[in-house]
Structure 1
Protein backbone atom coordinates (compact mmCIF):
# COMPACT_ATOMS: atom_id res chain seq x y z
CA UNK A 1 0.00 0.00 0.00
CA UNK A 2 1.35 3.43 -0.98
CA UNK A 3 2.16 6.01 1.67
CA UNK A 4 1.57 9.71 0.90
CA UNK A 5 3.30 12.30 3.06
CA UNK A 6 2.99 16.10 3.03
CA UNK A 7 5.67 18.29 4.61
CA UNK A 8 7.75 21.43 4.02
CA UNK A 9 11.33 21.42 2.72
CA UNK A 10 13.69 21.86 5.72
CA UNK A 11 15.94 24.92 5.86
CA UNK A 12 19.05 22.78 5.53
CA UNK A 13 18.03 21.61 2.04
CA UNK A 14 17.67 25.10 0.56
CA UNK A 15 18.95 25.05 -3.03
CA UNK A 16 19.32 21.26 -3.29
CA UNK A 17 18.14 19.35 -6.32
CA UNK A 18 14.71 17.79 -5.82
CA UNK A 19 15.98 14.21 -6.14
CA UNK A 20 18.76 14.88 -3.59
CA UNK A 21 16.29 16.48 -1.19
CA UNK A 22 13.84 13.58 -1.44
CA UNK A 23 16.69 11.10 -0.92
CA UNK A 24 17.90 12.90 2.21
CA UNK A 25 14.44 13.37 3.70
CA UNK A 26 13.24 9.81 3.24
CA UNK A 27 16.47 7.79 3.44
CA UNK A 28 16.35 6.74 -0.22
CA UNK A 29 19.04 6.47 -2.86
CA UNK A 30 19.18 9.28 -5.41
CA UNK A 31 18.27 6.76 -8.11
CA UNK A 32 15.15 5.62 -6.24
CA UNK A 33 14.13 9.22 -5.50
CA UNK A 34 14.49 10.10 -9.20
CA UNK A 35 12.30 7.12 -10.15
CA UNK A 36 9.55 8.26 -7.79
CA UNK A 37 9.73 11.81 -9.21
CA UNK A 38 9.67 10.47 -12.77
CA UNK A 39 6.57 8.40 -11.98
CA UNK A 40 4.72 11.54 -10.84
CA UNK A 41 4.93 10.64 -7.16
CA UNK A 42 6.18 14.07 -6.04
CA UNK A 43 4.37 17.41 -6.07
CA UNK A 44 6.29 20.60 -5.27
CA UNK A 45 3.93 23.40 -4.18
CA UNK A 46 1.11 21.46 -5.80
CA UNK A 47 2.75 20.93 -9.20
CA UNK A 48 4.81 18.15 -10.74
CA UNK A 49 8.52 18.94 -10.92
CA UNK A 50 11.66 17.58 -12.55
CA UNK A 51 14.32 15.77 -10.56
CA UNK A 52 16.84 18.54 -11.34
CA UNK A 53 14.64 21.37 -10.04
CA UNK A 54 16.03 23.25 -7.06
CA UNK A 55 13.97 23.36 -3.86
CA UNK A 56 13.41 26.31 -1.55
CA UNK A 57 13.15 26.07 2.22
CA UNK A 58 9.50 26.00 3.25
CA UNK A 59 8.23 24.83 -0.15
CA UNK A 60 5.47 22.25 0.27
CA UNK A 61 6.18 18.67 -0.77
CA UNK A 62 3.65 15.91 -1.34
CA UNK A 63 5.46 12.59 -1.76
CA UNK A 64 3.77 9.28 -2.53
CA UNK A 65 6.11 6.48 -1.48
CA UNK A 66 5.49 3.10 -3.13
CA UNK A 67 5.16 0.08 -0.87
CA UNK A 68 8.52 -1.45 0.11
CA UNK A 69 9.46 -4.67 -1.68
CA UNK A 70 8.53 -7.83 0.17
CA UNK A 71 11.49 -9.36 1.99
CA UNK A 72 12.31 -12.90 0.86
CA UNK A 73 11.39 -15.81 3.12
CA UNK A 74 14.46 -17.73 4.31
CA UNK A 75 14.84 -21.23 2.92
CA UNK A 76 17.04 -24.00 4.26
CA UNK A 77 20.05 -24.19 1.97
CA UNK A 78 23.51 -25.49 2.81
CA UNK A 79 26.44 -23.05 2.58
CA UNK A 80 29.67 -24.75 1.47
CA UNK A 81 32.70 -23.62 3.44
CA UNK A 82 30.83 -22.13 6.40
CA UNK A 83 32.47 -23.39 9.59
CA UNK A 84 30.87 -23.56 13.04
CA UNK A 85 33.39 -22.23 15.56
CA UNK A 86 31.26 -22.59 18.70
CA UNK A 87 27.73 -23.67 19.58
CA UNK A 88 25.80 -23.94 22.82
CA UNK A 89 22.16 -23.64 23.86
CA UNK A 90 22.10 -19.86 23.37
CA UNK A 91 24.53 -18.87 20.62
CA UNK A 92 26.27 -20.18 17.54
CA UNK A 93 29.45 -18.58 16.18
CA UNK A 94 30.27 -19.16 12.52
CA UNK A 95 33.22 -18.40 10.27
CA UNK A 96 31.53 -16.89 7.21
CA UNK A 97 33.05 -17.60 3.79
CA UNK A 98 33.22 -15.17 0.89
CA UNK A 99 30.11 -14.57 -1.24
CA UNK A 100 27.63 -15.14 1.60
CA UNK A 101 25.32 -12.54 3.17
CA UNK A 102 24.07 -12.62 6.75
CA UNK A 103 20.40 -13.06 5.82
CA UNK A 104 18.23 -12.98 2.68
CA UNK A 105 17.66 -9.52 1.21
CA UNK A 106 15.65 -8.16 -1.70
CA UNK A 107 17.53 -8.80 -4.94
CA UNK A 108 20.08 -11.23 -3.45
CA UNK A 109 19.93 -14.74 -4.92
CA UNK A 110 23.08 -16.19 -3.36
CA UNK A 111 23.57 -18.06 -0.07
CA UNK A 112 23.13 -16.62 3.42
CA UNK A 113 24.34 -17.53 6.91
CA UNK A 114 20.76 -17.78 8.15
CA UNK A 115 19.72 -20.24 5.44
CA UNK A 116 22.87 -22.30 5.97
CA UNK A 117 22.12 -22.65 9.67
CA UNK A 118 18.51 -23.59 8.99
CA UNK A 119 19.73 -26.27 6.58
CA UNK A 120 21.91 -27.66 9.39
CA UNK A 121 18.85 -28.01 11.62
CA UNK A 122 19.85 -25.22 14.01
CA UNK A 123 16.95 -23.69 15.90
CA UNK A 124 17.35 -19.91 16.01
CA UNK A 125 15.70 -17.13 17.97
CA UNK A 126 12.50 -15.94 16.33
CA UNK A 127 12.59 -12.39 17.70
CA UNK A 128 12.67 -9.66 15.09
CA UNK A 129 11.73 -9.92 11.42
CA UNK A 130 11.20 -13.42 10.03
CA UNK A 131 13.90 -13.02 7.37
CA UNK A 132 16.49 -12.04 10.01
CA UNK A 133 15.75 -14.50 12.81
CA UNK A 134 18.66 -14.74 15.22
CA UNK A 135 20.83 -12.26 13.29
CA UNK A 136 22.27 -9.61 15.64
CA UNK A 137 24.98 -8.16 13.35
CA UNK A 138 26.16 -8.51 9.76
CA UNK A 139 29.20 -8.73 7.53
CA UNK A 140 29.33 -7.68 3.88
CA UNK A 141 28.94 -10.54 1.40
CA UNK A 142 32.62 -10.39 0.43
CA UNK A 143 33.95 -9.80 3.95
CA UNK A 144 34.87 -13.08 5.62
CA UNK A 145 35.15 -14.05 9.27
CA UNK A 146 33.30 -14.33 12.54
CA UNK A 147 29.59 -13.80 13.18
CA UNK A 148 27.57 -14.68 16.27
CA UNK A 149 23.92 -15.69 15.81
CA UNK A 150 21.37 -15.99 18.63
CA UNK A 151 19.65 -19.31 19.26
CA UNK A 152 17.60 -18.32 22.32
CA UNK A 153 15.32 -15.33 22.74
CA UNK A 154 17.35 -14.20 25.77
CA UNK A 155 20.56 -14.30 23.75
CA UNK A 156 18.94 -12.28 20.97
CA UNK A 157 17.86 -9.43 23.24
CA UNK A 158 21.12 -9.38 25.25
CA UNK A 159 23.35 -9.44 22.17
CA UNK A 160 21.31 -6.81 20.32
CA UNK A 161 21.73 -4.53 23.32
CA UNK A 162 25.46 -5.32 23.55
CA UNK A 163 26.03 -4.35 19.92
CA UNK A 164 23.94 -1.20 20.35
CA UNK A 165 25.84 -0.20 23.50
CA UNK A 166 29.20 -0.97 21.80
CA UNK A 167 30.35 -3.50 24.41
CA UNK A 168 31.23 -6.14 21.78
CA UNK A 169 34.93 -6.27 20.85
CA UNK A 170 35.03 -6.56 17.06
CA UNK A 171 38.49 -6.90 15.51
CA UNK A 172 39.22 -7.01 11.80
CA UNK A 173 42.36 -7.28 9.74
CA UNK A 174 42.55 -5.44 6.45
CA UNK A 175 45.24 -4.99 3.84
CA UNK A 176 45.25 -1.39 2.63
CA UNK A 177 47.14 0.37 -0.12
CA UNK A 178 50.16 2.42 0.93
CA UNK A 179 51.17 3.33 4.47
CA UNK A 180 48.83 5.24 6.79
CA UNK A 181 50.43 8.20 8.56
CA UNK A 182 50.32 8.00 11.53
CA UNK A 183 50.73 4.23 11.73
CA UNK A 184 48.15 4.08 14.51
CA UNK A 185 45.10 6.30 14.81
CA UNK A 186 41.34 6.84 14.91
CA UNK A 187 38.92 7.87 12.20
CA UNK A 188 35.92 9.67 13.71
CA UNK A 189 33.81 10.69 10.73
CA UNK A 190 30.04 10.41 10.11
CA UNK A 191 28.80 8.02 7.42
CA UNK A 192 25.70 8.17 5.25
CA UNK A 193 24.66 7.09 1.77
CA UNK A 194 26.84 8.52 -0.97
CA UNK A 195 25.18 11.55 -2.62
CA UNK A 196 25.50 9.81 -6.00
CA UNK A 197 22.88 7.27 -4.89
CA UNK A 198 24.81 4.40 -6.48
CA UNK A 199 24.93 1.98 -3.54
CA UNK A 200 28.12 3.40 -2.01
CA UNK A 201 28.40 4.98 1.42
CA UNK A 202 30.58 7.97 2.24
CA UNK A 203 31.79 10.35 4.92
CA UNK A 204 28.97 12.90 4.88
CA UNK A 205 28.33 15.87 7.16
CA UNK A 206 25.25 15.06 9.20
CA UNK A 207 25.66 11.30 8.74
CA UNK A 208 25.57 8.74 11.53
CA UNK A 209 28.49 8.93 14.01
CA UNK A 210 31.14 6.35 13.06
CA UNK A 211 34.41 5.57 14.86
CA UNK A 212 37.17 3.27 13.59
CA UNK A 213 40.50 2.61 15.37
CA UNK A 214 43.39 1.24 13.30
CA UNK A 215 46.86 -0.06 14.15
CA UNK A 216 49.50 -1.08 11.59
CA UNK A 217 50.58 -4.69 12.15
CA UNK A 218 52.97 -5.08 9.22
CA UNK A 219 54.19 -2.76 6.46
CA UNK A 220 55.11 -3.91 2.96
CA UNK A 221 56.45 -2.10 -0.07
CA UNK A 222 53.03 -1.29 -1.54
CA UNK A 223 50.58 -2.01 1.27
CA UNK A 224 50.02 -2.25 5.03
CA UNK A 225 48.30 -4.86 7.15
CA UNK A 226 46.10 -3.16 9.76
CA UNK A 227 44.17 -4.34 12.78
CA UNK A 228 40.84 -2.53 13.06
CA UNK A 229 38.70 -2.09 16.15
CA UNK A 230 35.19 -0.80 15.54
CA UNK A 231 33.24 1.26 18.03
CA UNK A 232 30.27 1.55 15.69
CA UNK A 233 28.98 -0.83 13.03
CA UNK A 234 27.87 1.20 10.01
CA UNK A 235 27.43 -0.30 6.56
CA UNK A 236 30.82 -0.49 4.79
CA UNK A 237 32.36 1.43 7.72
CA UNK A 238 35.94 0.13 7.46
CA UNK A 239 35.92 0.39 3.67
CA UNK A 240 34.58 3.95 3.73
CA UNK A 241 36.95 5.17 6.44
CA UNK A 242 40.02 3.61 4.83
CA UNK A 243 39.07 5.16 1.49
CA UNK A 244 38.62 8.51 3.25
CA UNK A 245 42.24 8.20 4.47
CA UNK A 246 43.29 7.61 0.83
CA UNK A 247 44.31 4.05 1.75
CA UNK A 248 41.47 1.87 0.41
CA UNK A 249 41.29 -1.82 1.20
CA UNK A 250 43.21 -3.79 -1.42
CA UNK A 251 40.77 -5.19 -3.99
CA UNK A 252 37.94 -2.83 -3.00
CA UNK A 253 37.22 -1.39 -6.44
CA UNK A 254 33.94 0.13 -5.24
CA UNK A 255 35.94 2.50 -3.07
CA UNK A 256 38.80 3.32 -5.40
CA UNK A 257 41.34 0.54 -4.92
CA UNK A 258 44.03 0.02 -7.57
CA UNK A 259 42.96 -2.96 -9.75
CA UNK A 260 46.57 -3.56 -10.83
CA UNK A 261 47.76 -4.27 -7.28
CA UNK A 262 44.77 -6.52 -6.59
CA UNK A 263 45.41 -8.48 -9.77
CA UNK A 264 49.09 -8.93 -8.93
CA UNK A 265 48.15 -10.29 -5.50
CA UNK A 266 45.30 -12.48 -6.79
CA UNK A 267 42.73 -10.58 -4.69
CA UNK A 268 39.24 -10.60 -6.21
CA UNK A 269 37.36 -8.84 -3.40
CA UNK A 270 38.17 -6.41 -0.62
CA UNK A 271 40.94 -7.77 1.64
CA UNK A 272 38.94 -7.61 4.88
CA UNK A 273 38.49 -10.33 7.49
CA UNK A 274 36.67 -10.39 10.87
CA UNK A 275 39.49 -12.02 12.78
CA UNK A 276 38.33 -11.84 16.44
CA UNK A 277 35.02 -11.44 18.24
CA UNK A 278 34.66 -11.01 22.01
CA UNK A 279 31.64 -10.38 24.22
CA UNK A 280 30.02 -11.38 27.51
CA UNK A 281 28.10 -14.63 27.08
CA UNK A 282 24.40 -13.67 27.16
CA UNK A 283 23.35 -16.25 29.78
CA UNK A 284 26.58 -17.50 31.38
CA UNK A 285 27.76 -13.92 32.03
CA UNK A 286 31.42 -14.66 31.37
CA UNK A 287 33.69 -13.18 28.71
CA UNK A 288 34.14 -15.29 25.58
CA UNK A 289 36.41 -14.67 22.61
CA UNK A 290 36.71 -16.40 19.25
CA UNK A 291 39.27 -16.11 16.46
CA UNK A 292 39.45 -16.98 12.78
CA UNK A 293 42.48 -17.61 10.52
CA UNK A 294 42.78 -15.85 7.17
CA UNK A 295 41.09 -17.62 4.24
CA UNK A 296 43.43 -18.96 1.56
CA UNK A 297 43.02 -16.04 -0.86
CA UNK A 298 43.84 -13.40 1.76
CA UNK A 299 46.71 -15.40 3.22
CA UNK A 300 48.26 -15.91 -0.22
CA UNK A 301 48.20 -12.15 -0.90
CA UNK A 302 50.10 -11.42 2.33
CA UNK A 303 52.70 -14.07 1.53
CA UNK A 304 53.29 -12.52 -1.89
CA UNK A 305 53.90 -9.14 -0.25
CA UNK A 306 56.30 -10.66 2.25
CA UNK A 307 58.27 -12.20 -0.59
CA UNK A 308 58.64 -8.74 -2.13
Structure 2
Protein backbone atom coordinates (compact mmCIF):
# COMPACT_ATOMS: atom_id res chain seq x y z
CA UNK A 1 0.00 0.00 0.00
CA UNK A 2 1.01 3.60 -0.59
CA UNK A 3 0.07 6.47 1.72
CA UNK A 4 -1.27 9.78 0.46
CA UNK A 5 -1.92 13.10 2.21
CA UNK A 6 -4.25 15.98 1.46
CA UNK A 7 -5.33 19.23 3.13
CA UNK A 8 -8.99 20.18 2.68
CA UNK A 9 -9.48 23.38 0.68
CA UNK A 10 -11.95 26.15 1.65
CA UNK A 11 -14.32 25.26 -1.20
CA UNK A 12 -14.39 21.63 -0.01
CA UNK A 13 -15.62 22.55 3.47
CA UNK A 14 -18.58 20.39 4.58
CA UNK A 15 -18.03 17.83 1.78
CA UNK A 16 -18.45 14.17 2.76
CA UNK A 17 -15.13 12.39 3.18
CA UNK A 18 -16.08 9.55 0.81
CA UNK A 19 -17.16 12.00 -1.89
CA UNK A 20 -14.02 14.11 -1.53
CA UNK A 21 -11.73 11.09 -1.76
CA UNK A 22 -13.62 9.95 -4.87
CA UNK A 23 -12.92 13.35 -6.42
CA UNK A 24 -9.23 13.16 -5.48
CA UNK A 25 -8.93 9.53 -6.66
CA UNK A 26 -11.08 9.42 -9.84
CA UNK A 27 -9.71 6.02 -10.85
CA UNK A 28 -11.50 4.43 -7.87
CA UNK A 29 -15.25 4.10 -7.33
CA UNK A 30 -16.98 5.65 -4.34
CA UNK A 31 -17.86 2.18 -3.05
CA UNK A 32 -14.17 1.20 -3.13
CA UNK A 33 -13.30 4.31 -1.15
CA UNK A 34 -16.04 3.60 1.39
CA UNK A 35 -14.42 0.17 1.80
CA UNK A 36 -11.08 1.88 2.57
CA UNK A 37 -12.80 3.95 5.26
CA UNK A 38 -14.50 0.93 6.84
CA UNK A 39 -11.15 -0.88 6.89
CA UNK A 40 -9.62 2.13 8.70
CA UNK A 41 -7.28 2.99 5.83
CA UNK A 42 -8.41 6.63 6.10
CA UNK A 43 -7.83 9.14 8.90
CA UNK A 44 -8.73 12.79 9.39
CA UNK A 45 -6.40 14.70 11.70
CA UNK A 46 -4.98 11.31 12.76
CA UNK A 47 -8.44 9.95 13.72
CA UNK A 48 -10.52 7.24 12.08
CA UNK A 49 -13.84 8.54 10.70
CA UNK A 50 -17.03 7.22 9.08
CA UNK A 51 -17.89 7.58 5.36
CA UNK A 52 -20.43 10.33 6.14
CA UNK A 53 -17.91 12.52 7.99
CA UNK A 54 -18.21 16.15 6.80
CA UNK A 55 -14.80 17.64 6.10
CA UNK A 56 -13.76 21.01 7.45
CA UNK A 57 -11.39 23.51 5.85
CA UNK A 58 -7.82 22.64 6.85
CA UNK A 59 -8.55 19.01 7.80
CA UNK A 60 -5.49 16.83 7.20
CA UNK A 61 -6.46 13.63 5.40
CA UNK A 62 -4.29 10.54 5.22
CA UNK A 63 -5.23 7.37 3.42
CA UNK A 64 -3.56 4.18 2.27
CA UNK A 65 -4.19 3.16 -1.33
CA UNK A 66 -4.18 -0.59 -1.99
CA UNK A 67 -1.88 -1.68 -4.79
CA UNK A 68 -3.75 -1.60 -8.08
CA UNK A 69 -4.86 -4.86 -9.57
CA UNK A 70 -2.56 -5.88 -12.41
CA UNK A 71 -3.83 -6.97 -15.80
CA UNK A 72 -2.31 -8.37 -18.96
CA UNK A 73 -2.12 -6.32 -22.15
CA UNK A 74 -2.64 -8.32 -25.31
CA UNK A 75 -2.78 -7.57 -29.00
CA UNK A 76 -6.20 -7.51 -30.64
CA UNK A 77 -7.13 -7.69 -34.31
CA UNK A 78 -8.62 -4.20 -34.53
CA UNK A 79 -8.59 -2.19 -37.75
CA UNK A 80 -6.10 0.67 -37.84
CA UNK A 81 -6.00 3.72 -40.12
CA UNK A 82 -2.26 4.06 -40.82
CA UNK A 83 -1.03 7.07 -42.79
CA UNK A 84 2.66 6.19 -42.57
CA UNK A 85 4.81 3.35 -41.29
CA UNK A 86 8.48 2.45 -41.40
CA UNK A 87 10.86 0.54 -39.12
CA UNK A 88 10.93 3.40 -36.58
CA UNK A 89 7.41 4.77 -36.27
CA UNK A 90 3.80 4.93 -37.40
CA UNK A 91 1.36 7.79 -37.86
CA UNK A 92 -2.18 6.63 -37.14
CA UNK A 93 -5.59 8.26 -37.36
CA UNK A 94 -7.42 7.32 -34.15
CA UNK A 95 -11.22 7.20 -34.35
CA UNK A 96 -13.36 9.03 -31.82
CA UNK A 97 -14.50 6.65 -29.09
CA UNK A 98 -11.25 4.66 -28.92
CA UNK A 99 -9.18 4.85 -25.72
CA UNK A 100 -5.46 5.30 -26.42
CA UNK A 101 -4.05 2.87 -23.85
CA UNK A 102 -5.49 0.21 -21.51
CA UNK A 103 -6.31 0.73 -17.84
CA UNK A 104 -8.36 -1.17 -15.28
CA UNK A 105 -11.51 0.40 -16.70
CA UNK A 106 -10.57 -0.18 -20.36
CA UNK A 107 -8.51 -3.34 -20.67
CA UNK A 108 -9.55 -4.18 -24.24
CA UNK A 109 -10.26 -2.41 -27.50
CA UNK A 110 -7.67 0.34 -27.09
CA UNK A 111 -5.23 1.73 -29.63
CA UNK A 112 -2.37 -0.04 -27.83
CA UNK A 113 -4.19 -3.39 -28.11
CA UNK A 114 -4.52 -2.79 -31.86
CA UNK A 115 -0.87 -1.72 -32.21
CA UNK A 116 0.44 -4.77 -30.33
CA UNK A 117 -1.38 -7.02 -32.81
CA UNK A 118 -0.15 -5.07 -35.83
CA UNK A 119 3.50 -4.47 -34.85
CA UNK A 120 6.28 -6.90 -34.02
CA UNK A 121 8.04 -4.27 -31.91
CA UNK A 122 6.93 -1.15 -30.03
CA UNK A 123 8.74 1.11 -27.61
CA UNK A 124 8.07 0.06 -24.00
CA UNK A 125 9.72 3.13 -22.50
CA UNK A 126 6.54 3.83 -20.51
CA UNK A 127 5.63 0.18 -19.93
CA UNK A 128 3.68 -2.37 -21.96
CA UNK A 129 0.37 -0.62 -21.08
CA UNK A 130 1.52 2.42 -23.10
CA UNK A 131 3.58 0.61 -25.72
CA UNK A 132 4.57 3.00 -28.49
CA UNK A 133 2.58 5.92 -27.11
CA UNK A 134 4.53 9.19 -27.27
CA UNK A 135 1.56 11.55 -26.83
CA UNK A 136 -2.17 11.09 -26.33
CA UNK A 137 -5.53 12.48 -27.31
CA UNK A 138 -8.80 12.01 -25.44
CA UNK A 139 -11.05 9.00 -26.03
CA UNK A 140 -13.69 11.05 -27.85
CA UNK A 141 -11.20 13.15 -29.81
CA UNK A 142 -10.31 11.79 -33.23
CA UNK A 143 -7.14 12.32 -35.20
CA UNK A 144 -3.43 11.86 -35.65
CA UNK A 145 -0.92 10.31 -33.28
CA UNK A 146 2.75 9.36 -33.71
CA UNK A 147 3.67 5.88 -32.44
CA UNK A 148 7.27 4.89 -31.66
CA UNK A 149 8.52 1.40 -32.49
CA UNK A 150 11.74 1.65 -30.47
CA UNK A 151 13.10 3.53 -27.48
CA UNK A 152 15.50 5.74 -29.44
CA UNK A 153 12.66 7.00 -31.63
CA UNK A 154 10.44 7.49 -28.59
CA UNK A 155 13.05 9.61 -26.80
CA UNK A 156 13.75 11.73 -29.90
CA UNK A 157 10.05 12.42 -30.49
CA UNK A 158 9.47 13.19 -26.80
CA UNK A 159 12.34 15.69 -26.91
CA UNK A 160 10.76 17.38 -29.94
CA UNK A 161 7.48 17.69 -28.06
CA UNK A 162 9.18 19.25 -25.04
CA UNK A 163 11.10 21.65 -27.30
CA UNK A 164 7.80 22.61 -29.03
CA UNK A 165 9.12 21.42 -32.38
CA UNK A 166 6.14 19.18 -33.18
CA UNK A 167 3.39 20.97 -35.11
CA UNK A 168 -0.05 19.89 -33.87
CA UNK A 169 -3.14 21.44 -35.42
CA UNK A 170 -6.70 20.63 -34.41
CA UNK A 171 -10.08 21.72 -35.66
CA UNK A 172 -13.05 22.24 -33.39
CA UNK A 173 -16.60 23.52 -33.32
CA UNK A 174 -17.31 25.80 -30.38
CA UNK A 175 -20.37 27.46 -28.88
CA UNK A 176 -20.81 31.16 -29.58
CA UNK A 177 -19.62 33.43 -32.37
CA UNK A 178 -15.98 34.50 -32.08
CA UNK A 179 -15.81 38.01 -33.55
CA UNK A 180 -12.05 38.22 -34.14
CA UNK A 181 -10.04 36.19 -36.65
CA UNK A 182 -7.17 35.03 -34.45
CA UNK A 183 -6.61 34.55 -30.75
CA UNK A 184 -4.21 33.20 -28.16
CA UNK A 185 -5.04 31.70 -24.80
CA UNK A 186 -2.18 31.69 -22.29
CA UNK A 187 -3.51 30.28 -19.03
CA UNK A 188 -2.05 27.61 -16.69
CA UNK A 189 -3.87 24.28 -16.44
CA UNK A 190 -4.08 21.93 -13.46
CA UNK A 191 -6.55 19.72 -11.60
CA UNK A 192 -9.79 21.50 -10.79
CA UNK A 193 -9.80 21.76 -6.95
CA UNK A 194 -13.60 21.41 -6.92
CA UNK A 195 -13.68 18.34 -9.17
CA UNK A 196 -10.54 16.20 -9.50
CA UNK A 197 -11.97 14.48 -12.58
CA UNK A 198 -11.69 17.77 -14.45
CA UNK A 199 -8.88 20.09 -15.40
CA UNK A 200 -9.17 23.85 -14.97
CA UNK A 201 -7.37 27.17 -15.04
CA UNK A 202 -5.46 27.28 -11.76
CA UNK A 203 -2.72 29.66 -10.59
CA UNK A 204 -0.34 26.83 -9.71
CA UNK A 205 -1.07 24.85 -12.89
CA UNK A 206 1.37 24.07 -15.69
CA UNK A 207 1.90 26.68 -18.43
CA UNK A 208 -0.45 26.14 -21.37
CA UNK A 209 -0.71 28.08 -24.65
CA UNK A 210 -3.26 27.61 -27.43
CA UNK A 211 -3.45 29.61 -30.66
CA UNK A 212 -6.70 29.64 -32.61
CA UNK A 213 -8.01 30.93 -35.94
CA UNK A 214 -11.60 31.25 -37.11
CA UNK A 215 -12.43 29.10 -40.13
CA UNK A 216 -16.15 29.91 -40.36
CA UNK A 217 -18.88 31.48 -38.28
CA UNK A 218 -22.38 30.08 -37.96
CA UNK A 219 -25.45 31.08 -35.99
CA UNK A 220 -24.35 30.64 -32.35
CA UNK A 221 -21.32 28.48 -33.28
CA UNK A 222 -17.83 28.92 -34.73
CA UNK A 223 -15.59 26.48 -36.63
CA UNK A 224 -11.97 27.04 -35.61
CA UNK A 225 -8.52 25.55 -35.94
CA UNK A 226 -6.17 25.42 -32.95
CA UNK A 227 -2.41 25.05 -32.74
CA UNK A 228 -0.84 23.85 -29.51
CA UNK A 229 2.39 25.18 -28.07
CA UNK A 230 1.98 22.90 -25.06
CA UNK A 231 0.19 19.60 -24.59
CA UNK A 232 -1.71 19.69 -21.30
CA UNK A 233 -4.56 17.30 -20.51
CA UNK A 234 -7.81 18.58 -22.05
CA UNK A 235 -5.98 21.75 -23.08
CA UNK A 236 -8.18 22.95 -25.94
CA UNK A 237 -11.37 21.97 -24.11
CA UNK A 238 -10.34 23.86 -20.96
CA UNK A 239 -8.97 26.92 -22.77
CA UNK A 240 -12.01 27.37 -25.00
CA UNK A 241 -14.35 27.06 -22.02
CA UNK A 242 -12.19 29.61 -20.18
CA UNK A 243 -12.76 32.25 -22.89
CA UNK A 244 -16.49 31.52 -23.03
CA UNK A 245 -16.55 29.26 -26.10
CA UNK A 246 -16.77 25.62 -24.91
CA UNK A 247 -16.64 22.84 -27.48
CA UNK A 248 -19.87 21.59 -29.00
CA UNK A 249 -20.83 18.14 -27.73
CA UNK A 250 -18.39 18.27 -24.81
CA UNK A 251 -19.97 16.31 -21.92
CA UNK A 252 -17.39 17.46 -19.37
CA UNK A 253 -16.73 21.11 -20.12
CA UNK A 254 -19.62 22.12 -22.38
CA UNK A 255 -23.07 23.44 -21.50
CA UNK A 256 -25.92 21.05 -20.74
CA UNK A 257 -27.70 22.04 -23.94
CA UNK A 258 -25.38 21.08 -26.79
CA UNK A 259 -25.19 18.72 -29.75
CA UNK A 260 -25.09 15.00 -29.02
CA UNK A 261 -22.39 13.66 -31.32
CA UNK A 262 -20.91 11.17 -28.88
CA UNK A 263 -18.33 13.56 -27.46
CA UNK A 264 -16.60 16.87 -28.10
CA UNK A 265 -16.31 18.21 -31.66
CA UNK A 266 -12.51 18.08 -31.72
CA UNK A 267 -10.22 16.51 -34.32
CA UNK A 268 -6.40 16.38 -34.45
CA UNK A 269 -6.22 17.05 -38.16
CA UNK A 270 -2.51 17.50 -38.87
CA UNK A 271 0.87 16.78 -37.35
CA UNK A 272 4.40 17.68 -38.37
CA UNK A 273 7.75 16.53 -36.95
CA UNK A 274 11.34 15.70 -37.84
CA UNK A 275 11.90 12.01 -38.48
CA UNK A 276 14.33 10.81 -35.76
CA UNK A 277 16.42 8.72 -38.19
CA UNK A 278 16.23 10.40 -41.60
CA UNK A 279 16.00 13.95 -40.13
CA UNK A 280 13.36 14.67 -42.80
CA UNK A 281 10.48 17.01 -41.93
CA UNK A 282 7.29 14.99 -42.15
CA UNK A 283 3.75 16.33 -42.27
CA UNK A 284 0.44 14.45 -42.30
CA UNK A 285 -3.21 15.46 -42.48
CA UNK A 286 -6.47 13.59 -41.90
CA UNK A 287 -9.94 14.90 -42.62
CA UNK A 288 -12.39 15.13 -39.72
CA UNK A 289 -14.72 12.13 -39.27
CA UNK A 290 -18.25 11.95 -40.67
CA UNK A 291 -20.02 13.07 -37.45
CA UNK A 292 -17.90 16.21 -37.37
CA UNK A 293 -18.59 16.92 -41.05
CA UNK A 294 -22.31 16.24 -40.58
CA UNK A 295 -22.44 18.76 -37.74
CA UNK A 296 -20.84 21.39 -39.96
CA UNK A 297 -23.45 20.66 -42.64
CA UNK A 298 -26.22 20.96 -40.06
CA UNK A 299 -24.86 24.31 -38.86
CA UNK A 300 -24.60 25.52 -42.46
CA UNK A 301 -28.32 24.90 -42.92
CA UNK A 302 -29.06 26.82 -39.71
CA UNK A 303 -27.05 29.81 -40.86
TM-score, structure 1 normalization: 0.83
2:2 corresponds to which residue?
A: 3
Compare 172-181 and 28-37 and name the one that shifted more.
Answer: 28-37
Aligned-pair CA distance for 1:47: 1.8
Distance in 1 of aligned mates of 2:264 and 2:238: 12
- Unpaired runs of at least 5, structure 1: none
Aligned-pair CA distance for 1:225: 0.8
1:48 corresponds to which residue?
A: 48
Distance in 1 of aligned mates of 2:203 and 2:40: 30
Compare 173-182 and 42-51 and name the one that shifted more.
Answer: 42-51
Maintained 8 Å contact 1:211/1:230: yes
The alignment status of 1:276 with 2:273, answered yes or no, reads no
- Cα pair distance change 1:295/1:41, threshold 3 Å: same
Aligned-pair CA distance for 1:49: 4.2
The alignment status of 1:79 with 2:74, answered yes or no, reads no
2:106 corresponds to which residue?
A: 108
1:306 corresponds to which residue?
A: 300
Alignment map for 1:188-267 (pairs within 5 Å): 188-197=186-195, 199-257=197-255, 259=257, 261-263=258-260, 267=261
The 3-state SS of whatever aligns with 1:215 is strand
Aligned-pair CA distance for 1:176: 0.6
Aligned-pair CA distance for 1:131: 0.8
TM-score, structure 2 normalization: 0.84
Maintained 8 Å contact 2:175/2:220: yes
Aligned-pair CA distance for 1:60: 6.4
- Cα pair distance change 1:115/1:45, threshold 3 Å: closer
Distance in 1 of aligned mates of 2:76 and 2:201: 37
Distance in 1 of aligned mates of 2:182 and 2:44: 49
Alignment map for 1:39-188 (pairs within 5 Å): 39-49=39-49, 51-56=53-58, 62-70=62-70, 72-80=71-79, 82-188=80-186
1:28 corresponds to which residue?
A: 25
Aligned-pair CA distance for 1:211: 1.6
Distance in 2 of aligned mates of 1:188 and 1:69: 39
Aligned length: 295
Maintained 8 Å contact 1:135/1:149: yes
Q: Deviations over 1:153-189 (max 9, x none)?
A: 2101111222233221111000111112544211222
Maintained 8 Å contact 1:100/1:110: no
Maintained 8 Å contact 2:25/2:196: no
Maintained 8 Å contact 2:140/2:262: no
Compare 134-143 and 116-125 and name the one that shifted more.
Answer: 116-125
Maintained 8 Å contact 1:84/1:94: yes
Distance in 2 of aligned mates of 1:78 and 1:280: 30
- Cα pair distance change 1:174/1:62, threshold 3 Å: closer
Maintained 8 Å contact 1:194/1:201: yes
- Cα pair distance change 1:222/1:288, threshold 3 Å: same
- Cα pair distance change 1:195/1:187, threshold 3 Å: same
The runs of at least 4 aligned residues of structure 1 exceeding 6 Å deviation read 30-34
1:288 corresponds to which residue?
A: 282
- Cα pair distance change 1:15/1:34, threshold 3 Å: farther
Distance in 2 of aligned mates of 1:112 and 1:60: 38
- Cα pair distance change 1:39/1:205, threshold 3 Å: farther
Aligned-pair CA distance for 1:273: 0.4
- Unpaired runs of at least 5, structure 2: none
